[in-house]
Amino acid sequence: MRNIKLLIAAVATLGAILLLAACGGSNGSPTDAVSSGTSAPASLAGQTITLYNGQHEQTTALLVSAFEKHSGVKVKVRSNDEVELGNQIVQEGSNSPADVFYTENTPVLEHLREESLLAQLAPSTLAAIPARFNSAQGDWVGVSARVSVLVYNTSKVSPASLPSSIMELSQPQWKGKLGIAPSETDFQPLITAITKLKGAAAAEKWLAGVQANSKIYPDNETVVTQVNNGESEVGLINHYYWYRLRDEVGQGGLHSALHYYAAGDPGDLLNVSGAAVLKSSSHQAAAQAFVAFLVSKEGQEVIAYSHSYEYPLRPGVSPASSLRPFNQLQPASISLAELGDGSASLELEQKLGLL
């Protein structure tokens, strides 16, 4: 449920707004923050920060509860679609009440980074996570990851007939069988990956073919549900939606399974959830402490041992045992920097009428 329509509408007016937003200052510095361990300065106790949350609310609630207990800092959570929150940060500028932004995907963070709205994170926070999952400029950090997959109905589709590449889903044999949620921000990075690996013309041809073949759903939860009940035979999702459905319906209600594409395929994409401190925050130390907690051993174990089913990114913290081991994933060779802010993919979806 991460709708991206508002970002397109905002693109034309961002320049003037961001000139004002860039004037926001910051109090404190990254070195004032707690390290990526599990102890917070006693001076932070009693403070309140505001978290703009674009991640799944259940996961965030567990993380916030654990942080509040260990730090004494109160966290006010405002949850919404991540791009709507990103647009709101731009519009609010230096008057934004947000201290921290926690997202499901990185393009919106890259967009805010490009506009100089994010503060530098503490070096110890960045060091907790392998550098390839963080902003190269040090102003957001990766928190967890998931991989894009194909979910299929086990009664309607045989494993032998499943595609080895996401590119095959634009072919006529999949007409009327595919479910997609193009307004989800999880969908846009797939277009970007195809563009990077196959070229812009191939990406547009693929997307037009997928559009012709697909039933359109409002979100990934609906995609996985409708594949499981047989309305669609296959669907594009991230892996964790299927694991959460499995918990909901139980083994007796499960009529679907996951299919991973061939190694390096653009459809086998690793997406990262990230967090940043706003440059305009008036609670820099407490905000830095919260982001540090997200990537601490304790914070990462909250993700690993909950029903999030995402991959924690801190080395030494293992994901849920039912997941494919992280070191066995062979995703496309696309860096988070190459995924960029996603504006070209958004424009392509708009051009074809998917948004």
CATH code of 157's domain: 3.40.190.10
CA–centroid distance for 311 within its chain: 12
Number of domains into which the chain is organized: 2
Closest CA to 291 of 26, 49, 45, 107: 49
Out of 148-157, 206-215, 339-348, which region has the weakest mean confidence (pLDDT)?
339-348
Domain-located, residue 332:
no
| DSSP string over 241-283 | HHHHHHHHHTGGG--EEEE--STT-TTS-EEEEEEEEBTT-S-
Domain that holds residue 126: 5-145+271-323
Per-residue model confidence (pLDDT) at position 218: 97
Domain-located, residue 333:
no
Rg (CA), the chain: 20
Alpha helices, DSSP H only, in 22-95? 57-71, 82-92
Residue with the larger pLDDT of the pair 131 and 337: 131
Percent share of the chain, pLDDT over 70: 88
Shared domain check, 63 and 183: no
Q: Is 129:142 a contact under the CB 8 Å cutoff?
A: yes
Model-level pTM?
0.87
- How far apart are alpha carbons 328 and 257 in whole angstroms? 18
Shared domain check, 280 and 132: yes
Shared domain check, 105 and 10: yes
306: enclosing H helix or E strand: none
Domain-located, residue 331:
no
Per-residue model confidence (pLDDT) at position 43: 86
Domain-located, residue 334:
no
- How far apart are alpha carbons 266 and 99 in whole angstroms? 35
Shared domain check, 138 and 191: no
Shared domain check, 235 and 97: no
Shared domain check, 130 and 94: yes
- Mean pLDDT of the region 260-264: 96
Which tokens in the block code for residue 148? 């894009």
Q: Exposed, middle or buried: residue 14 (CB in 10 Å: 0-12, 13-18, 19+)?
A: middle
Residue 278, strand partner residues: 118
Shared domain check, 107 and 125: yes
Shared domain check, 259 and 160: yes
Closest CA to 237 of 311, 319, 174, 182: 182
Type of residue found at 201: A
> With bands split at pLDDT 50, 70 and 90, how would you rate the model's confidence at 23?
very low
Task: Give the per-residue SS3 of 134-169.
Answer: CCCCCCCEEEEEEEEEEEEECCCCCHHHCCCCHHHH
- How far apart are alpha carbons 279 and 136 in whole angstroms? 17
Per-residue model confidence (pLDDT) at position 39: 53
CA–centroid distance for 334 within its chain: 15
Shared domain check, 176 and 130: no
On the question of pLDDT at 220 being above 80, the answer is: yes
Taking only the tens place, the pLDDT of each residue in 288-319 is: 999 999 999 999 999 999 999 999 999 999 99
Per-residue DSSP letter, 118: B
